[in-house]
Each structure stands twice: as C-alpha cells, then as structure tokens.
Amino acid sequence: MIRRTISLLVAALSLAACSNSTVNKDWHRSRPVAEGRRPIGLPGQPVEPGFRPGERAGATAASAARDPRSMVTIDGSSHATMGWSELISRAAQSDIVLIGEVHGHPGAQAFLAAFWDDLTPQAGGAWLALEFFDRDQQNALDDYLAGVTTEDEFKKNAARNNSNYPPGHRAMVERAKALGRPVIAANSPRRYARLARTSGYDKLQALGPETQRLFVVPSTMTEGRYRTEFENMMRDSLRQGAHDAAEKKEKAEAAKQGDTTPEPEDIEAKVQGYYRSQNLWDATMADSITRPALAGARPVVLVVGQYHTDFNGGLVERIRAAAPNLRVMTISLADEFASQGNALRPADAGRADAVIYLK
C-alpha cells in the first residue's frame, strides 16, 4: 500500500474547522514527496498560496516564470508523454474533468488558469466547479457572475480571502464570468460534515428538505484502498494529537449555531467519523457535477484536492457508479519532479489519466 505524507494529512485535516479563515502558511511544508508517496489534498482545505515563508518569494517567482503549458505531462496508462494540445483536446472531448490539485501550490495555480483559458475556446459548453465553494454559497457566486454584485461584495458574501480564493481559482472564475459560463459551488457546508462526523448520517437525514439540498448523504461508504489508506493515516494523525486544537475551535463555532454535540473520545470512533465526513464530501461533489453533465454540460471541470481523485479515489468511484456512461478524465498535479526525465515515476502509475509534474 502506498503511504502518503502523514504530516501533510495532519495539517490538512486540522483545517476542517476553518474553511473561511486565514490559515497557517506553513502547513504544506512536506515537499518534495519521497518516491513511493504522493501529496494529497483533502476537501475544501484552504491554504495560503505559497510555501514556507523563506521560500515563498523564490518559489512563486520561479513558477510564474515557467509556462504551465511546458510542464511535463504524462499519460497515466500508456506512460507516454502528452503535449499541451493533446491534453486540452482530450479534456474537451470528456464529459467530466477532475483536476486533482495541490492546494495553494503556485505552479498548480498557474496551470489552472492556463488550462481553463485554453479549454474554453474548444469546449463551448464547459462549466466550472470548485471544491472550495460550498453549496450555500451558490447564490453569492451566481450574483457575482451575473453582475449583480461587485467583486468586493462577492468576496464578503462568499467569505472569500487570500486563503480560500487563491489566484488560479480566481482566474478561472473571472474567465467564466467573462464568457457567461456557470460556476458550481460543489461542496457540502462544513457544519453538515461536522454533524456527519460527530452524530452520524441519521441526524442529517432528519433535517428539513430545504436544508438537505445542501449536501448528499451517501447510501454506502467507499471501500477498498481508499478507505484503508484514509483510516490508517487518520489513526496516525489522531494519535499525534494533530486535530485537538481544530476540533476545539470547531466545537466552539458549532455551539454558536446551537450544536453542542461533543467530539467522541475514542480514536477509532473519531476515525470512522472523519471517514463519514469524507464520504459526505465525495457524494455531494459527485452529485454537484454529475447532474449538469447528464443534462448536457460538456465538460464539467471540477478543481478538487487530489486525494479525492488520484488512483480512482472515492469521488471518481461515485461518479462512475452514478453515471457509468459519462466520459471522466482525471488530471493530477504532482508537486514533484519527474524522477526519470520525462518518464512517469513508478509510484504514479495509474494515478490519473494525465499526470502533470509541476517542477
């Protein structure tokens, strides 16, 4: 089993309580990833777009100077190199495109902007979807896209800041606005993910019908490698006490809304709670993009943390189960060097339809 970087998981999941706040700028410091491991992105985790404070200026400048269209792109199945035009063409012919990003990586942000810029002329029906936006922020997005609100008003209404609205995401939204393309707020609001974690799905299913439009409760849990790796990493991080501060803060914020449900004390109960949240996010995002794709949007492009999509992750499984006839393309943005020149790293075989090395 491929083990991912534990320190990155610890920091990423610790952000679960603060999706609309500025976060620690050092959380994504574990790079490059060692051979046999891969970086991950978890649902809706906002990050400051940069690396360690001492590295930020140089890293950002280096990434800005590099044309994302020249990044090494490799077919995850055939292991053959793929040119930029082929990448765009394949995406334009897909029904759904899942871009698994390294949240906040400047090279990833540059890629997102260039990819959307070049895809939209070829795909006149393309829609954009973003993990960082929750379903209860759809009205704020729609108002801005329609010109009802200014950007400053939009950011206030959608609780956007430099942490949860990095430059690549903003560039994609601005182009969608200019072209009149829809943008989907794809994720479940975090308060319902907390309820799934602390109280289970029954409490969510007891809520009113209008509230239930904001999330999708999965009928089953994703099994196999996805679950095994998630649970193993979560046990490790919980034993390190990595989530204590985040859970305390989240509990205080939930109490302001009348939710006084305590966090479980048992580690195994916590592990299963976090996995319920993970599946709630996957089910909600799968529903958010599958419905418009089935209705004729081509393609629906979702920007999401790569843990959900790499190696046929839980999000990919749910989309394919719900709509097996849709053509789904996965793209993984790897915060790594291709270790063998322009060849696919052995650890990345099967990671995605297209693996893009950001460095």
Residue-wise pLDDT for 191-240, tens only, equals 999 999 999 999 999 999 999 999 999 999 999 999 999 999 999 988 88
**Residue 4 pLDDT > 70:** no
Taking only the tens place, the pLDDT of each residue in 289-340 is 999 999 999 999 999 999 999 999 999 999 999 999 999 999 999 988 776 6
Mean pLDDT along residues 124-149: 98
- The pLDDT assigned to 241 comes to 76
Taking only the tens place, the pLDDT of each residue in 244-283 is 666 667 666 766 676 777 777 789 999 999 999 999 999 9
Can you list the alpha helix ranges (DSSP code H) found in 83-166? 84-92, 106-122, 138-145, 151-157
- Cα separation, 261 vs 271, in Å, equals 17
* Burial profile 259-275: b = 16 or more Cβ within 10 angstroms, e = fewer: beeebbeeeeebbbbbb
131 close to 300: Cβ distance less than 8 angstroms: no
57 close to 49: Cβ distance less than 8 angstroms: no
Closest CA to 355 of 330, 328, 319: 330
Q: How many Cα neighbours within 13 Å face the side chain of 230?
A: 27
Tokens encoding 243: 């989530």
**Residue 351 pLDDT > 70:** yes
- Cα separation, 304 vs 286, in Å, equals 11
- Cα separation, 109 vs 176, in Å, equals 16
Q: What is the pTM of this model?
A: 0.83
In CATH terms, the fold of domain 6-357 is Rossmann fold (3.40.50)
**Residue 29 pLDDT > 90:** no
- The pLDDT assigned to 254 comes to 64
**Residue 45 pLDDT > 60:** no
Q: What angle do CA 285, 169, 98 make, to 5 degrees?
A: 40
How many CB atoms lie under 10 A from the CB of residue 114?
A: 18
Tokens encoding 128: 């954009």
